[in-house]
């Protein structure tokens, strides 16, 4: 389900696939360009959410729109599976990355649906790895770390109001291996990451939808952010 940011009298909603597309923009501007298969996995890692994000679904317990955090697991799992299926039709290595990414979310879960999902995806991963050469298999863990970082960089933009760093997930910045990266807002529409992991400056676009507290759409828009070096 969507990324949800609460404002005084409304909610900002960002589709998961739109957020993932921004992750792909980060990967495309990495200092050392990742291989095409890696960039496909990063850009399409949330494609399974497209159908679920067609409409706003409300959480009766909170009275707010469901977000990707509290969306029911029984509906998440089929979306995850369908998304990895769709990526696999494009690129096997990319699908393996996405599968590994999703399985990592289920650490510690013991319900039947989650255990079945883990089992099915681990079987998929073994099948896909069997078809890879040694060089590709050796890249999986490092490229998964890159996917997760690009995911976090995009979530940082989507979960925070422009120009601020209030969301608790990223107040201390980002870890990437043994490196610590820090977000610095220069203006509401200008962000840089220190030390920069990018080879050039670029822009990202965040499409969003505004709904009021009754669920009525108020407006749609696009936020432009310049990512500096």
pLDDT tens per residue across span 174-213: 999 999 999 999 999 999 999 999 999 999 999 999 999 8
d(CA 33, CA 26): 10
For residue 225, what are the β-bridge partners? Answer: 204
Distance, CA of 179 to CA of 113 (rounded, Å)? 36
What are the backbone angles phi and psi of residue 129, rounded to the nearest 5°?
-65, -35
pLDDT classification of 107: cutoffs 50, 70, 90: confident
Give the residue numbers spanning the domain of 65. 3-228
Q: With DSSP H G I counted as helix, E B as strand and the rest as coil, what are the percentages for the chain, rounded to 5?
A: 45, 25, 30
- Contact in structure between 104 and 97 (CB atoms under 8 Å): no
How much is the pLDDT for 223?
A: 97
Contact of 5 with 18, CB cutoff 8 Å: no
151: pLDDT strictly greater than 90: yes
Each residue of 130-168: b (16+ CB within 10 Å) or e? eebeeebeebbeebbebbbbbbbbbbbbbbbeeeebeee
Higher pLDDT, 51 or 199: 199
- Name the domain count of the chain: 1
């Amino acid at each position: 389900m969507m990324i949800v940011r609460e404002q005084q009298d409304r909610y900002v909603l960002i589709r998961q696939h739109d957020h993932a597309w921004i992750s792909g923009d980060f990967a495309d501007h990495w200092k050392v360009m990742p291989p095409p298969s890696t960039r496909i996995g990063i850009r399409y890692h949330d494609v399974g959410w497209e159908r679920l994000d067609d409409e706003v679904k409300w959480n009766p317990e909170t009275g707010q729109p469901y977000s990707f955090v509290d969306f029911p697991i029984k509906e998440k799992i089929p979306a995850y599976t369908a998304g990895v299926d769709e990526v696999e039709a494009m690129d096997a290595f990319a699908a393996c990355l996405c599968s590994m990414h999703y399985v990592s979310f289920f650490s510690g879960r013991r319900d039947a649906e989650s255990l079945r999902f883990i089992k099915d995806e681990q079987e998929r991963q073994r099948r896909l790895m069997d078809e890879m050469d040694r060089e590709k298999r050796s890249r999986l863990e490092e490229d998964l770390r890159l996917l997760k970082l690009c995911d976090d960089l995009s979530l940082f933009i989507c979960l925070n109001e422009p120009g601020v760093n209030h969301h608790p997930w990223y107040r201390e910045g980002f870890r990437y291996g043994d490196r610590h990266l820090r977000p610095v807002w220069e203006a509401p529409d200008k962000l840089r990451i220190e030390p920069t992991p990018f080879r050039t400056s670029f822009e990202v676009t965040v499409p969003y939808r505004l709904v009021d507290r009754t669920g009525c759409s108020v407006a749609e828009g696009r936020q432009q952010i310049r990512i500096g070096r």
